Amino acid sequence: MTTALDRPVKPPQVFPSLSTRRKTVNNLATVLVFGSFIVAMVPLIWVLYTVFSRGLTALTSDDWFTRSMRGVLPFFEGGGAYHAMVGTLMQGAVAALFAIPIGLMVSIYLVEYADGSRLGRVTTFMVDILSGVPSIVAALFIYALWITTFGFSKSGFAVALALLLLMLPIVVRSGEEMLRIVPMDLREAAYALGVPKWKTIVRIVIPTALPGIITGLMLAVARVIGEAAPLLILVGYATYINYNMLEGEMGSLPGMMIAELNNPSGPGRDRLWGAALTLVLIIALLNIVANLISRYTGAKKK
């Protein structure tokens, strides 16, 4: 004779069975999400395929990475993008040299010291304004200030100043977001042990947020090195290598693309797409380096 205690007890049904309508809506939403992803990926793959297929001819030539365009006539084959790569990297490096420390210090102030103060609110507002400034407006501002007012000549340094204005809000915003992610418990534990606030920021907060900060910095550099408007306004295009950032024309990859755009012949068209592909590869390399650095510089887990 079986009792009520011997009977198997059915587990309670936590989730009720979904109705047909809910299943249909769920499946429809899944299809729409994947469809939107595919639609977004189609133009990206198309652009990358076009750049790679048309620019690979120039990149596989013997002189592309070792020679400049000095002495090469526009309608003749030959020449390379060495001068343009050097100019692009120099301008981006000088802009990053100023933007990274300034942006990080502003981020630290907004997260750790502002505490809703009037200066903090004004700084946040100005960063938001600066993040929406077009590149040509930044170039015109540097032209009016650096060249017209101060009397300096057009140069690669003026381009770097314009890139600094474009890079600064990205550095501030990325650094601010990464610093806010750091748990408050880490700060409070350091304060409980008697660690000063500045040392807590330097030794605990920044190392914890460093992987995300580095990724944001590399994205900021990749964002500005492809700008063409500052090049058109603040410096002329040179077919040779110019290591002087304060004087003279300077080559760059966007400038090379603009110069070769006016040359409809076969060699000019190949050099145009080759410069575009080189710029894409440099940006991809920066992202890879950022991932590697962030992987080996983050806070170690024990």
Higher pLDDT, 300 or 67: 67
Domain-located, residue 37: no
Domain-located, residue 97: yes
Under a CB-based contact definition with an 8 Å cutoff, are residues 209 and 178 in contact?
Answer: yes
Domain-located, residue 1: no
Domain-located, residue 173: yes
Per the structure, the complete domain to which residue 234 belongs is given by: 82-297
Query: What does the alpha-carbon distance between residue 220 and residue 218 come to, in Å, rounded to a whole number?
Result: 5
Domain-located, residue 142: yes
Q: And the tokens for 72?
A: 């090469």
Query: What does the alpha-carbon distance between residue 16 and residue 151 come to, in Å, rounded to a whole number?
Result: 76
Say how many C-beta atoms besides its own lie within 10 A of residue 184's C-beta: 8
21: left (phi over 0), alpha (psi -120 to 50) or beta: alpha
Give residue 302's pLDDT.
47
Instruction: Report the Cα 111 to chain-centroid distance in Å.
Output: 22
Query: What does the alpha-carbon distance between residue 42 and residue 40 come to, in Å, rounded to a whole number?
Result: 6
What is the average pLDDT score of the chain?
87
| Structure confidence at residue 8 as a pLDDT band (50, 70, 90) | low
Interval 45-55: pLDDT, tens = 999 999 999 88
Q: Is 288 exposed, middle or buried (0-12, 13-18, 19+ CB in 10 A)?
A: exposed
% the chain with pLDDT above 70: 91
Query: What does the alpha-carbon distance between residue 80 and residue 70 come to, in Å, rounded to a whole number?
Result: 9
How many structural domains is the chain composed of? Answer: 1
Interval 215-242 mean pLDDT: 88
| Structure confidence at residue 143 as a pLDDT band (50, 70, 90) | very high
Interval 178-190: pLDDT, tens = 999 999 998 999 9
Query: pLDDT at residue 13 above 60?
Result: no
Domain-located, residue 281: yes
The pTM of the full predicted model, rounded to 2 decimals, is 0.83
Domain-located, residue 184: yes
Domain-located, residue 5: no
CATH of the domain at 98: 1.10.3720.10
Rounded to 5 degrees, φ, ψ at 19 are -75, 165
